[in-house]
């Protein structure tokens, strides 16, 4: 399976071109164009060479107006393979810009600059890297469905897909209707393609979990106790600015716990422990406890929402308010 998608590559490439090539963008602003990653290889250089930021000066205004850096990648499901916009995007992508105008610009650049030529030329590179990640993930859509169905309602029409991109780092999840995708940015790891197998698998489960967990958290946010404390505790334990609101702290704590639950048996115990320690080091200090609570709930055939409303709410109501400071002293 070819895990590359030219729609993702071009969208990331447009953001990267503004970040690296637009001389009207200050260094500070360029650094805010986050999660895109430059690799000094012929494929990336030729793709960037096709994107002339002086010829398309309006491109900068769209990239800098995007609300969330994940949208560089997440928009791909709203294009067909020839970059025609499907006109069904319900995401609030821009602060003030019009999404149709942006998608028209993307289509214009793709057609006018013959971007397809680059993707065709480096098709074998995409196959080579895909083989490595297919071997890591051993991606089985039916197995993924069965695993998530243990805790969530997964309608038959929901589809699961997995993608990788050279032009980003980090992991992303996106959906369009019933299409659900996990996107893994492999960043600057081309020289060590088998890097961090443990993290790659955990990240796959992490990203799919957002689709199910986030709406349940939003629905039940009012009944979760000690929210102000939990947020401040995470901030005091090095929580990145991206996550500094209570909904994000809960999303991330739960999906990180679920990623460990689902990855057990596929990843070494040492690898899972390293991930848990890393989660704790960036503010998600309660993941290990949450894992135990979820696993106990699963033994009693509870779904995730039931576990949240009963077991997890009970845990948060009786939270040890010295826990965070003790975690910080261990890190």
Q: Rounded to whole angstroms, how far apart are CA atoms 105 and 25?
A: 19
133 or 94: which carries more pLDDT confidence? 94
pLDDT at 117 over 70: yes
Domain assignments of the chain as residue spans, ordered by start: 6-123, 196-331
Rounded to an integer, what is the distance from CA 271 to the centroid of its chain? 20
Q: Rounded to whole angstroms, how far apart are CA atoms 78 and 149?
A: 26
Q: Average pLDDT for residues 78-96, to the nearest whole number?
A: 87
pLDDT at 208 over 80: yes
Q: Average pLDDT for residues 145-161, to the nearest whole number?
A: 93
pLDDT score at 198: 61
Q: What's the pLDDT band for 86 if we cut at 50, 70, 90? A: confident
Q: Rounded to whole angstroms, how far apart are CA atoms 331 and 295?
A: 25
Q: Rounded to whole angstroms, how far apart are CA atoms 320 and 316?
A: 9
183 or 138: which carries more pLDDT confidence? 183
Q: Rounded to whole angstroms, how far apart are CA atoms 185 and 296?
A: 33
pLDDT score at 193: 47
What is the DSSP annotation of 123-191?
HHHHHHHHHHHHHHH---HHHHHHHHHTTS---TT-EEEEEEETTBEEEEEEEETTEEEEEEEETT-GG
pLDDT score at 329: 41
8 Å CB contact between 184 and 123 = no
Q: What's the pLDDT band for 291 if we cut at 50, 70, 90? A: very high
8 Å CB contact between 18 and 60 = yes
pLDDT score at 199: 67
Helix spans in the chain (H): 6-21, 27-32, 42-50, 58-63, 71-74, 99-112, 116-121, 123-137, 141-149, 197-220, 227-236, 246-263, 269-281, 287-299, 304-307, 313-317, 323-330
Q: How far is CA 92 from CA 66, 101, 168, in A?
A: 9, 14, 21
The fraction of the chain above a pLDDT of 90, given in percent, is 60
Q: What's the pLDDT band for 325 if we cut at 50, 70, 90? A: very low
Instruction: Fill in the DSSP letter of residue 312.
Output: I
pLDDT score at 155: 92
Tokens of 221: 């946010």
Question: For residue 73, how many other CB atoms are within 10 A of its CB?
Answer: 29
Q: What's the pLDDT band for 56 if we cut at 50, 70, 90? A: very high
pLDDT at 194 over 60: no
34: left (phi over 0), alpha (psi -120 to 50) or beta: beta
pLDDT at 310 over 70: yes
pLDDT at 189 over 80: no
pLDDT at 93 over 80: yes
CA atoms within 13 A on the CB side of 50: 22
Tokens of 327: 């975690």
Q: Rounded to whole angstroms, how far apart are CA atoms 166 and 99?
A: 25
Q: Average pLDDT for residues 13-35, to the nearest whole number?
A: 90
Look at residue 260 and give its three-state secondary structure.
Answer: helix
pLDDT score at 139: 72
pLDDT score at 330: 45
The fraction of the chain above a pLDDT of 70, given in percent, is 92
pLDDT score at 172: 83
Q: Average pLDDT for residues 54-65, to the nearest whole number?
A: 95
Q: Which of 142, 268, 244 is nearest to 196 (CA)?
A: 268
330 or 14: which carries more pLDDT confidence? 14
**Mean of all residue pLDDT scores within the chain:** 88
Residue 174, beta-bridge partner list: 181
pLDDT score at 326: 43
pLDDT score at 289: 96
User: Which range among 155-169, 176-190, 238-252 shows the weakest confidence by mean pLDDT?
Assistant: 176-190
Tokens of 98: 């019009």
pLDDT at 70 over 80: no
pLDDT at 138 over 80: no
Look at residue 303 and give its three-state secondary structure.
Answer: coil
């Amino acid at each position: 399976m070819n895990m590359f998608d030219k729609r993702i590559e071009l969208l990331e490439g447009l953001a990267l071109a503004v970040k690296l090539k637009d001389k009207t963008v200050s260094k500070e602003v360029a650094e805010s164009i986050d999660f895109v990653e430059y690799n000094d290889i012929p494929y990336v250089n030729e793709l960037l060479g096709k994107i002339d930021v002086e010829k398309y000066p309006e491109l900068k205004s769209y990239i800098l107006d995007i609300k969330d850096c994940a949208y560089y990648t997440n928009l791909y499901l709203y294009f067909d393979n020839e970059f025609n916009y499907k006109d069904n995007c319900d995401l609030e992508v821009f602060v003030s810009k019009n999404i149709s105008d942006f998608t028209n610009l993307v289509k214009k650049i793709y057609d006018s600059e013959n971007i397809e030529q680059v993707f065709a030329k480096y098709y074998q590179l995409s196959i080579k890297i895909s083989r490595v990640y297919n071997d890591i993930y051993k991606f089985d859509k039916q197995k993924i469905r069965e695993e998530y169905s243990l805790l969530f309602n997964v309608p038959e029409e929901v589809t699961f897909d997995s993608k990788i991109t050279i032009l980003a780092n980090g992991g992303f999840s996106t959906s369009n209707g019933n299409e659900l995708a996990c996107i893994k940015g492999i960043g600057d790891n081309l020289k060590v393609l088998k890097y961090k197998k443990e993290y790659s698998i955990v990240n796959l489960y992490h990203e799919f979990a957002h689709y199910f967990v986030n709406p349940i958290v939003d629905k039940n946010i009012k009944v979760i106790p000690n929210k102000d404390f939990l947020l401040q505790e995470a901030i005091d334990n090095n929580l990145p600015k991206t996550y500094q609101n209570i909904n994000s702290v809960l999303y991330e704590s739960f999906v990180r716990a679920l990623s460990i639950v689902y990855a057990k048996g596929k990843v070494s115990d040492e690898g899972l422990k390293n991930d848990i320690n890393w989660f704790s080091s960036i503010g998600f200090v309660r993941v290990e406890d949450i894992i135990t609570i979820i696993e106990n709930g699963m033994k009693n055939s509870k779904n995730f929402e039931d576990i949240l409303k009963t077991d997890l709410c009970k845990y948060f109501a009786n939270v040890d308010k010295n826990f965070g400071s003790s975690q910080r002293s261990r890190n």
